[in-house]
Amino acid sequence: MKSFAMTLFYWLATASLLTATAVTSAQPYPTKPVRLIVPFPPGGVTDIVGRIIAQNLALRLGQSVVVDNRSGAAGAIGAQAAARATPDGYTLLMGTATHAINATLMSDPGYDLLKDFSPVSLIASVPLLLAVHPSVPATNIQELIAFAKSQQAGLNYASGSSGSASHLAGEMLKIATKADLTHIPYKGGGPALQDLISGQVTFMFENMPSILPQVRSGRLRGLAVTGAKRSDAAPDLPTMIEAGFPNFEIGSWYGVFAPAKTPSAVLATLSTEILNALGTTEMQSELRAQGADPKGTSSAAFADFVQAEVKKWGDVIKTSGLKP
């Protein structure tokens, strides 16, 4: 009788444990805080956009979304950490155009953007703004190129780092015009911008949020933006396409990625809630205040976009002769 009672107790305890486990596993995602890895330092555009999406996504998921800045190696350090995380939806990556560039420019970035991640949604894009020092005798792109071709040594242009979208935009302009343009890389957009303001370099493509205040103050002269349409933040500036450069639509973009093999149900939840957040006037206003153009795409559409970006930047890098 004692043996029977012990056996019955064992089976009841086991059944209770299985039931509790089943209930726990059946709880909808998420059941704990989510980590969003931002692979660049605090204060930059990627960090700002990351914190905007983290705050708005947390309200919709009912869980904290904690920003984890993992900077270094042109975004590769943070991307590596995200790629190696457990694919359960609790670690996400704020990816950028830099990661699409790294796919070709870095011989071994330590991750594969197309294989190691599941794209969730494109959040926003930020066009670049081409600006010159006020001493440059050019009020449009054609005058800038004519001036470059009139100089025996050509012109130099700055960027925050080799391999950045700003750098490659300059290479695209060089390829399109065959002008003698020399790249001067800096350790960050801030120092590059300061040398442009002081006249140490001639021009620069830079993210709108960083360079637009200097244009508005008169310290720099804006010539064009690189978006598909004019920016609401600078409606008087033509696009590069309007200025006579077809297909010159580039810029920085920001999107959420999850590690590969993240469950489809989790990806669907994240994509839906991000789209819902981006559909609000509040979040759109927050992004536009930073000079960003709110997007919001399905996972499939974002995946197609990323593949196209990797190819586009790969073609630019190969044509320009840049080496990994």
- Stretch 2-8: mean pLDDT, rounded? 48
For residues 52 and 283, the answer to whether their CB atoms sit within 8 Å is yes
For residues 172 and 157, the answer to whether their CB atoms sit within 8 Å is no
Nearest to 253 by CA among 287, 223, 283: 287
- The reported pLDDT for the residue numbered 231 is 87
How many alpha carbons lie under 13 Å from residue 275 in its C-beta half-sphere? 13
- The reported pLDDT for the residue numbered 3 is 52
Interatomic CA distance for residues 221 and 214, integer angstroms: 8
CATH class name, domain 34-126+251-320: alpha beta
Q: Residue 239 has what DSSP assignment?
A: B
pLDDT band at residue 233 under the 50/70/90 scheme: confident
- The reported pLDDT for the residue numbered 21 is 44
For residues 77 and 70, the answer to whether their CB atoms sit within 8 Å is yes
Six-digit token string for 32: 């704990």
pLDDT tens for each residue of 92-119: 999 999 999 999 999 899 999 999 999 9
- The reported pLDDT for the residue numbered 247 is 84
Q: Report domain extents, the chain.
A: 34-126+251-320
- Stretch 271-291: mean pLDDT, rounded? 91
- Stretch 129-137: mean pLDDT, rounded? 96
For residues 93 and 117, the answer to whether their CB atoms sit within 8 Å is yes
Coil, strand or helix at 61: helix
- The reported pLDDT for the residue numbered 143 is 97
Per-residue CA distances from 65 to 30, 35, 36, 38 (Å): 10, 6, 7, 12
- Stretch 115-143: mean pLDDT, rounded? 96
Interatomic CA distance for residues 77 and 274, integer angstroms: 25
Question: Distance between alpha carbon 211 and the CA centroid of its chain, in Å?
Answer: 17
Beta bridge partners of 171: none
Interatomic CA distance for residues 51 and 122, integer angstroms: 15
E strands present in 208-318: 221-225, 251-259, 293-294
pLDDT tens for each residue of 162-208: 788 889 999 999 999 999 999 998 877 788 899 999 999 999 999 88
pLDDT tens for each residue of 62-80: 999 999 999 888 889 999 9
Six-digit token string for 245: 């450069």
pLDDT tens for each residue of 7-66: 444 444 444 444 444 444 457 899 999 999 999 888 778 888 999 999 999 999 999 999
Residue with tokens 């039931």: 19
Beta bridge partners of 88: none
What kind and span of H or E run contains 225?
A: strand 221-225
Six-digit token string for 156: 């130099």
Arithmetic mean of pLDDT over the chain:
89
